[in-house]
Amino acid sequence: MKKSTALVAALLVSGCQMTDEPHIVEINEQTPADYPAAQPYEVVNALTLDALSEQQADLEELPVFDDVWERIRYQLSIPVPQNRPIVTERNYYNKHQRYLDRISKRASPYLYYIVEEVEKRQMPIELALLPIVESAFDPFGYSHRSASGIWQFMPETGERFNLKQNWWYDGRRDIVESTRAALDYLSYLHKTLEGDWLNAIAAYNSGEGRVSRAIQKNRKKHLPTDFWSLDLPKETTAYVPKLLALADLLKRQDEFKVKWDPIVNAQVVDVVDVGSQIDLALAAEMAGMNITELYRLNPGFNRWATDPDGPHTLLLPLDSIEQFSQQLAKTDHKQRIRWQHYTVQKGDSLSVIASRFDTSTQSIQTLNELDSHIIRVGQALLVPLSEGNIDNEQLTAKMRKATAPTKKQTVHYRVKKGDTLWDISNAHDVTIQQLANWNKLSANAILKLNQKLVIHKTLQDNQPSRLAQSARSITYKVRKGDSLARIASKFKVSVEDIVKWNKIDSQKYLQPGQKLKLNIDVKRT
């Protein structure tokens, strides 16, 4: 493109005039002698114009692909060094063809849309492969750090990039919204980290603060600041090579004899604006789909219906949209939610009724067109007839687990000798910046002994804490010389607990070979 611009400039300087009017050439039966001889500069200009038109045609005529993977392969542009980290990751993927097959199956409804969005922003096409590294394209993927969705957003980062998260809906799992937020975040990181895409990708994993500090550290030592030269956490030093290894494996698939199952390079889904809250089981019926298929395309919804306050959009297969739209047009707004009659009783409030029927006050207000929370005894209300959480037997346990609502846990921590913000943040699965913000400190603050800190942690209703996750039930065979006190000390439990778990008499001696059930924390033992 730069060459084309320079050539056009040269033409203008040389006096060649170009207008918007088409140049029409009339062919007459005249001999060459009838035309004046062409000057040398005119020949050069004519040849240059021909070259420019050919070059423009080349730019406009991009290949047409049937397969989205081939479309990505054609545009791969980030250099892939053949170093140990990349070769190690590439060898791993190369040995797991079944994993790549699962990736293609999961990505098939989403990948075309993601590629389109990456191309619109003129970002490296390699970013379309990032959900493989993050979640293996599983929209219900959930990490122990509370990251969720195909782009694995933490709750706080999701809020930062305007991903709505509430009882009804989690935008981190919404394919359209999370893709928008992920590309916004990566664009921000690219600008913040001086236009280095590998550093931006690394920061997507570990946070811009950590990568920025690593860059500053290298600068002070007059060392290079590219990704390969930075001192970053082990997880991050493997993260970027994973992405590049996938790109290399896609680019040289024939050489490595791997197969990427084709994904049609065409739009297969589209967003439909419903305009109001709708029961998702009803929406599935209208679209001629089963509920599992609908949730896989719309994994952002936590409940049996869309959020009363929106979004009121659904991602549907193209071949289902016409049928859905026709059915929707015939259905009144109130009929889009399955409801039952309820008469307000003494002591009732909207919140009490909502809790009783496992719905929300918003939903009752919307359905009954109430302007306030005030209700009176004897008043007739329409209450959504819900199934509460997503517990339809067609849905997998993983889907139900991912859609369980999150709750906050506040921990009060007292600083011990030698503690730093980094130590405490790492131990509680939060970032240094979060810890600093919650306690109105700078990120490099020096802590005082016995200083009190507040830590806000996010837990799922059905997601145990890290301590609970490390709990294990084991069977212990009593050895010669064992006593209850000795076993309790060895496994860091109490004698009372051992007695309770095994329903034994603490006054009786243990017998060699006797089996005891112990509930232990493997991290402590």
Which helix (H) or strand (E) segment is 315 a member of? strand 313-317
Cis amide leading into 131 (omega within 30): no
Beta strands in 350-479 (DSSP E): 380-384, 406-414, 452-460, 471-477
285 catalytically annotated: no
- Dihedral sign of CA atoms 296, 300, 303, 308 in order: negative
Q: Which of 29, 60, 117, 134 is catalytic?
A: 134
Instruction: Provide the 10 A C-beta neighbour count for residue 295.
Output: 25
Q: Which residue has the tokens 């030093």?
A: 237
Contact status, residue 248 vs residue 73, Cβ threshold 8 Å:
no
Instruction: Provide the 10 A C-beta neighbour count for residue 24.
Output: 5
d(CA 69, CA 251): 10
β partners of residue 343 = 380
d(CA 434, CA 320): 44
Q: Tokens for 76?
A: 């791969």
d(CA 193, CA 333): 48
Give, in degrees to the nearest 5, the angle at Cα 388 between 384 and 389. Answer: 145
> Which of the residues are catalytic?
134
